[in-house]
Amino acid sequence: MRTVAGPQVPVAASTAVGPLLRTSATGSVLAVFPAAVYVRLASGAVVAVVTSDGLRLPNALVVAAARTDAPFARHAPGGRAAVTGGALVLDGVRYRPVRTWTPRASTGGTLQAHAVAALDARLTAAPPAHAGEVAARLRAGAAALGQALRTGAGLAGAADALLGLGPGLTPAGDDVLAGALVTCVHLGTGVPALAVRVRQRAHATTALSADLLQHCAEGRTSAPVLGVLDALVGARPLGPALDALLAVGSTSGSDTATGVLLAARTLLDRREDA
Amino acid sequence: MTDHVEARGGTYLDSVALMQVTRAVRSTPGVSAALVAMATGLNLELLAGLGLSAPDGAGPNDLLVGVRADDDAALAAALTALEAALGASTARPSAGGAGPEPARTTASAAARAEAGLALVSVPGPYAFLEAMDALRAGLSVVVFSDNVPVEQEVRLKDEAARRGLLVMGPDCGTAAVGGVGIGFANVVRPGRVGLVAASGTGAQQLMCLLDEAGVGVSACLGVGGRDLSAAVGGRSTRSALAALDADPGTDLVVVVSKPPAPEVADEVRALTAGMATPVHLALLGEGAADLTGVAEQVVRALGGTVPEWPTWAPDEPPAPRGGALRGLFSGGTLCDEAMAIAVAALGPVASNIPLRPEWALPADLAADGHAMVDFGDDRLTAGRPHPMIDPTLRLERLAGEAADPSVGVVLLDVVLGHGADPDPAASLAPAVRAARATAAADGRGLAVVVSLCGTAGDPQGRDRQASALRDAGATVLLSNAAAARLAVSLLEAP
Amino acid sequence: MTAPLSGLLGAEPSFVTAGASLLADALSAQAAPVEQVDWRPPAHGTPQALARVAADPRRESANATAVERLLGAGARLVDVRPAGEALGLAPGQFLHAGPPITWDRASGPLRGALIGGVLLEGLAGTPERAQEVLERGDGIELRPCHAAGAVGPMAGVVSPSMWVFELEDPVHGGRAWCSLNEGLGKVLRYGAYGPEVLDRLRWMSAVLGPLLGSAVRRHGPVDITALIAQMLQMGDEGHNRNRAGTLMLLRELLPDLLSLDAPGSELAEVTRFVGGNDHFFLNLVMPACKLATDAARDVPGSSLVVTMARNGTDFGIQTSGTGDRWFTAPARTAEGLFLGDFGPDDANPDIGDSAITETGGVGGFAMAAAPAIVRLVGGDAAYALRTTARMYEITLAESRAYTVPVLDFRGTPTGIDVLQVARTGILPQINTGMAGRVAGTGQVGAGLVTPPPECFAQALEALAEAAPPL
């Protein structure tokens, strides 16, 4: 038996959104799903409220209920949101942080060439996730991003060609960027120029995606992505970790994996050159 | 050929839903092109690539719909399909419905949920069944239940060892794992100190002091009050130490217990000596360091500064006087700690949990001279709630001490946190006031000292509780040892 | 190397709680997911006995072994033969349903069936004489069907000249037998013994049995477990509703029957008889379940129930870890709907070996597959679902072969565990027909019944004695 939401719901809040909750702000509900509610605040920041068995995004407040308890049934897109008294209030329901969780921001260890090769092999063998014009642009954009990461030049242009490209809550191009960004932060030294461009061009994509890209630029992402990063440093087997990532969304996982691979290959090349 | 483009606000679909909607529209007969996506700049370019022009004012958080159909009829069909698909994907899930039959055993519940830990608080004679279920399901288990036969405790702990799991208990009232407090637990900051506790209130006192000093806790693994006895041999203590040693999130370990059997204590010392993580032992008893002392050691070991432990003193602090010291405790370990301090300064202290057998109080707990009562002892909690939840017995006793002309100082503990009385001061402050008034009417001054075990984050609001008690005339201290020392100092002959 | 304590210290906290809900509430208040157990004190057994059985180091693997054998058993119909030959029954020897019983304790339907059996075998010429013979007991031996590897519905009386289905378990090599179902109305198994009953029995031994036997031998073994699996997806549950199973059997054997060298009139009689008896297939489901449960017998330390059976007076159970011991208590009377003018006072206490179906994971344990039967027994479809759902709490496994469409093809709850029954107080749910208490009345109704809990309490004590001390 699990208890479903009343007017006050205790949540475990990501330390990454802690500062946001100490302000006062208004906003509105962007979207409601069985396992998540996305809220956009006036500042443009996005906060997610997710179920305990949902995808734990770095901007998430986690409730104890599971998706089968339908805890978000009373919320609807366009609903009123406010941050007040340290809590997030949606449609009158007060989501009150009672403890925190910290999104992991780094992966220890050394990039393993064989793991990167295995990732490459699996993604090459996988059926194409996209078709038509989107697929073509995505390919071109990914190639350009790879090149830009290698040379350090053309990062802005590469970002512009990917940001907002493709259908979906988090457009395919954004997912590629996200995967690349977070990999460079965890396993390299980050890509400030790319992070800056992505922030400047936040308006080119959906609010949720822009927010998640921001977190990625600071090294914060969800567990399935972290799992693959762990596998790339040899801390766990790649197979199941990649399966878990590919299961995210319909193409989101595989697009993110593409970005991770791009960045990982660049980091390896750089290491070999050094 | 007819075209249709629109942008809809407030429609934010996940990628799976978008795929389904797109598929529904594209597969309508007579549709030659369709795009359903968020209206980002690049997607608008794709729209243009299809020969469709963008609607005005479409932004990235709007849903973009573009359809090219052979004729009006086909377009109408496509848009109908679009609405149907959108309706289906935005339909809200019904809350609940006929749920499954509730699980009747821990085995059944563990099979349904992805749980990490089981908590068993069923009556003692049956706790074994539920705890065994948990272990067999691969879950470590906290056993709050007391009155579990010792042979069952040993059997559980051997089973846990075989499976690489941990039994916290029996009679474990306090634990904390993953930032969540279990049982009677205070809200403390997360940190890197791990506790292995054979004493619940001992662990609570330590965690509250550390929290005050800015030191946080990674986990508090209770091992049950009997784990360090000869019969159980420290089985859970061993597992808990190994786990914390291997935990990358723990930099320092503290073991808290009342004095264990000597041979078991030696084993524990040998074990901890072999660990990579530094360990501080708080094995209390006559002559050993008190919990505040251990907290201070830990703070210094971590490079921190020991703070002034908070005291809330009334405007007119109590003056030294003669008479007896009476302790009324809800936490057995806090009572033990206070007794050890009192005995060293004042001599024998009678109790229902005496430090020496010859100091035992009679069954009716009538005291003559210094005495301390642990109201949480099994004999006083048979058939009634624990004093940390229900103050009735203690308040009665307080009134009795106030009426006893031989009593000079009353020492009480108040333990806050999850599971405890939501507002202890509500009943205790008036009782303190009344007790002092009773004594004053008789021409006596009664000093009341309270050790308040709590943190700022506790649901009761520590500072609010402290102020209320201070305003009633009590001197309130965070450190139980300091409270005991203050109480004792008020009685020493000037 | 896996993290110590299975990664407890690094994981996101989530809990299962049993006991004070205050504890669970405090966890929920900290935004931690909690699955609460709907706990209540064990209904049967002393705390010591319960703990001793739960602590038995053999228990986990013993139950796993026993239930795996149960689930893995096959059942094929290989022959139809006279009981005298197949079971070695000598004149004067009679088998009956349920645990051992003597004439003086037997209820109306069983007495009537025994009288009929004596008459059928020619050991007496009139019912009165037959009764005397049975009262005196000279030259008469009564044994449970189970003791001979057989099962019988209702009174379950088997005598040497009756023909029986013979089944084998190709996986474990066991054999099991069951009488042929006479149909409804005035029949021997309900304690009727009039001329028409005996005539029918004689015809079954002279025509039905032999022709079916020849057809089966000609056809080759008939996979009964496959038919059971299919019938569950067609609205049958294998105890009280067997219509689809009966028709599938007929379909299977008809070509072979028709190609036998027998008079067309006899073939017509046989097919009419089988096709017109909605319960014909019960007498194949029962021995199929008997094969499965027999395969699971005699695993030391196992608390799996391998028999549930009633003789019209007592209900008896046996467990895998307690050998041939019967644990008996007075049988209860079913509750449900009555036919015609019959009422509760007309019903005999629970009778028959047909509870072997529930023991094998069908019948009442597959009620969700047969919502229609629930109306017959006085419940509704939601009741059927809830009841089946409850049975998962007291069983060790889910069937692999027998799945229920409305439960998303989940396997039926299979393998009753004495310990779980004692802890939860949930008793196995049996769907059953009700016999009239006066011999020869026939069926008076159908309903739901549970075993008396004392059977499980006794079995628990026996298992505790057999378990090593803590």
Question: pLDDT digit string (tens) for B274-300?
Answer: 999 999 998 887 677 899 999 999 999
What are B201's two structure tokens?
């209130």
Identify the CA nearest to A119 among candidates A8, A272, A264. A264
Q: CA–CA separation, C80 vs C221, rounded Å?
A: 11
Q: Which of B10, B15, B41 is opposite residue A77, by nearest beta carbon? A: B10
Residues in Cβ contact with C329 at an 8 Å cutoff, skipping those fewer than 6 apart: C314, C315, C451, C452, C453, C454, C455, C458
- All chains having 3 or more CB pairs closer than 8 angstroms to chain B: A, C
Q: Roughly what angle, to the nearest 10 degrees, separates helices A223-232 and A252-273?
A: 30
- Interchain contact B193–C (C-beta under 8 A): no
Q: What are phi and psi of B214, to 5 degrees?
A: 80, 15
For residue C29, give the nearest of A10, A53, A62 by CB distance.
Answer: A10
User: Per the CB < 8 Å rule, is C34 touching A2?
Assistant: yes
Chain C neighbours, 3+ Cβ pairs < 8 A: A, B
* Size (chain C), residues: 470
Burial A127-145 (b: 16+ CB within 10 A, else e): eebbeeebeebbeebbebb
pLDDT of residue A226: 94
Specify whether the CB–CB gap between C442 and C192 falls below 8 A: yes
How many CB atoms within 10 Å of residue B257?
A: 26
| CB atoms A169 and B37 under 8 Å | no
Provide, as residue numbers in chain C, all residues whose Cβ is less than 8 Å from the Cβ of A2. Answer: 33-36
- The yes-or-no verdict on residue A99 having pLDDT over 50 is yes
Residues with Cβ < 8 Å from C16, sequence gap 6 or more?
B106, B109, B110, B113, B115, B117, B118, B119, B134, B139, C34, C35, C36, C37
**Contacting subunits of A (3+ beta carbon pairs below 8 A):** B, C
B106 near C CB under 8 A: yes
CB pair distance less than 8 Å for C12 and A101: yes
For chain A, counts of helices (H) and of strands (E):
10, 8
Determine what percent of chain A is predicted with pLDDT higher than 70.
97
Going along chain B from its start, the domains and CATH numbers come out as: 2-88 (3.30.70), 106-301 (3.40.50.261), 311-489 (3.40.50.261)
How close A66 gets to chain C, by Cα (Å)? 8
Residues B261-277 have a mean pLDDT of: 88
* pLDDT score, position B286: 66
- The verdict on a CB contact (< 8 Å) between A1 and C36 is yes
B104, closest residue in chain A (CA to CA): A1
Q: Which residue has the higher pLDDT, B102 or C463?
A: C463
Q: How many CB pairs under 8 A join A and B?
A: 109
Residue whose structure tokens are 């009678």 = B350
B412: β partners: B328, B450
* Intra-chain end-to-end CA distance of chain B, in Å: 106
Please report, to the nearest 10 degrees, the dihedral formed by the alpha carbons of residues C370, C181, C401, C213 taken in order: -150
Question: How buried is C94 (Cβ within 10 angstroms: 0-12 exposed, 13-18 middle, 19+ buried)?
Answer: buried
Mutation target vs A (from B19, B35, B38; most A CBs, 10 A cutoff)? B38
Q: What radius of gyration do chain A's Cα atoms show? A: 19
Q: Which of B426, B85, B477, B457 is nearest to B312 (CA)?
A: B477
Task: Please check whether residue C390 touches B, CB under 8 A.
Answer: yes
Residue of C nearest to A56 (CA): C12
Q: Residue B96 pLDDT > 60, yes or no?
A: no
Residues 6+ apart with CB under 8 A from C171: C72, C73, C74, C295
Task: Tokens for C56, please give them.
Answer: 């038995």
Residue C357 and residue C283: Cα distance in Å, rounded?
A: 10
Contact partners, residue C359, CB within 8 Å, separation at least 6: C289, C293, C305, C306, C307, C308, C416, C428
Residue environment code for B166-176, b if the CB has 16+ CB neighbours within 10 A, otherwise e? bbbbbbbbbbb
Query: What is the rounded average pLDDT of the residues B301-321?
Result: 93
Residue B332, classified by CB atoms within 10 Å of its CB into exposed (0-12), middle (13-18) or buried (19+), is buried
C19–chain B Cβ distance below 8 A for any pair: yes
Q: Cis peptide before B170, with omega less than 30 degrees from 0? A: yes
- Exposure string of A50-59, with b = 16+ CB inside 10 Å and e = fewer, is bbbbbbbbbb
Contacts of C32 in chain A (CB under 8 A): 12, 64
d(CA C72, CA C296): 10
Q: Would you say residue A251 has pLDDT above 80?
A: yes
User: Helix B15-26 vs helix B72-90: angle between axes, to the nearest 10 degrees?
Assistant: 160
Q: Are A110 and A264 in contact (CB under 8 A)?
A: no
Which one of A99, A137, A249 has the shortest CB-CB distance to B16?
Answer: A249
Which residues in chain A have their CB less than 8 angstroms from residue B61's CB?
30, 40, 206-207
Q: Which residues contact C222 (CB under 8 A, 6 or more apart)?
A: C76, C77, C216, C249, C252, C253
Q: Give C-chain residues touching B136 at CB under 8 angstroms.
A: 60
Helices (DSSP H) in chain A: which residue ranges? 18-21, 113-125, 132-151, 155-162, 172-187, 192-200, 207-217, 223-232, 238-246, 252-273
Q: Return the number of other C-beta atoms located less than 10 Å from residue C221's C-beta.
A: 16
**Contacts B–C by Cβ distance under 8 A:** 184
Residue A120 pLDDT class (50, 70, 90 cuts): very high
C27 touches chain B (CB under 8 A): yes
CA-CA distances (angstroms) from residue A203 to A160, A197, A219, B42, C3?
11, 11, 21, 12, 44
B452 closest CA partner among B435, B464, B440: B464
B180 touches chain C (CB under 8 A): yes
Between C311 and A108, residue with greater pLDDT:
C311
Q: Which of C17, C39, C55 sits opposite B132 (nearest CB)?
A: C55
- Written as six digits, the tokens of A50 are 């997710």
Supply B120's token pair. Answer: 């068993």
How far, rounded to the nearest angstrom, does the alpha carbon of residue B420 sit from its chain's CA centroid? 10
From C14's Cα to the closest Cα of chain A, the distance in A is 8
Chain B residues in contact with C426 by the CB 8 A cut-off are 104
Cβ separation B95–A69 shorter than 8 A: yes
> CA-CA distance, C280 to C165, in Å (whole number)?
11
Burial track C323-343 (b if 16+ CB lie within 10 A, e otherwise): eeebbbbebbebebebeeebe
Residues of chain B contacting A34 with CB distance shorter than 8 Å: 93
Q: Is B103 on the interface with C (CB under 8 A)?
A: yes
- Of B11, B15, B102, which has the smallest distance from its Cβ to A168's Cβ? B15
Tokens of B77: 């069909």
Residue of C nearest to A69 (CA): C33
Q: Which segment of A196-205, B90-99, B164-173, C4-13 scores lowest on mean pLDDT?
A: B90-99
Judged by a CB distance cut-off of 8 A, whether residue A52 touches chain C is yes
Residues of chain B in contact with residue A79, where contact means CB-CB under 8 angstroms, are none
Q: Three-state DSSP class for B84?
A: helix
Q: DSSP alpha helices (H): ranges in C220-263?
A: 224-232, 243-258
Q: Which of C2, C5, C14, C52 to mutate to test the interface with B (most CBs of B within 10 A)?
A: C5
CB pair distance less than 8 Å for A251 and B43: no
The residue with tokens 């006596």 is B444
A2: contact with C, CB 8 A cutoff: yes
Work out the end-to-end distance of chain C between its first and last CA atoms, rounded to an integer number of angstroms. Answer: 32
pLDDT of residue B54: 86
* Tokens 């007309």 sit on residue: C346
DSSP state of C67: H
CA of C335 to nearest chain B CA: how many angstroms apart? 23
3-state secondary structure A175-214: HHHHHHHHHHHHHCCCCHHHHHHHHHCHHHCCHHHHHHHH
ipTM rounded to 2 decimals: 0.91
For B119, the closest of C23, C47, C386 (CB atoms) is C23
Contact: C426, B104; criterion CB under 8 Å: yes
Instruction: Name the one residue in this structure whose structure tokens are 């005397």.
Output: C132
Residue pair B435/B410 in contact by the 8 Å Cβ criterion: yes
Please say whether the beta carbons of A173 and A262 come within 8 A: no
Chain A contact present for B36, CB below 8 A? yes
Q: Is C264 on the interface with B (CB under 8 A)?
A: no
Please list the pLDDT of chain C residue by residue as tens digits (470 residues).
Answer: 467 888 899 888 999 999 988 899 999 999 999 999 999 999 899 999 999 999 999 999 999 999 999 999 999 999 999 999 999 999 999 999 999 999 999 999 999 999 999 999 999 999 999 999 999 998 999 999 999 999 999 999 999 999 999 999 999 999 999 999 999 888 999 999 999 999 999 999 999 999 999 999 999 999 999 999 999 999 999 999 999 999 999 999 999 999 999 999 999 999 999 999 999 999 999 999 999 999 999 999 999 999 999 999 999 999 999 999 999 999 999 988 888 889 899 999 999 999 999 999 999 999 989 877 777 666 788 888 888 889 999 999 999 999 999 889 999 999 999 999 999 999 999 989 899 999 878 889 888 999 999 999 999 999 999 999 98
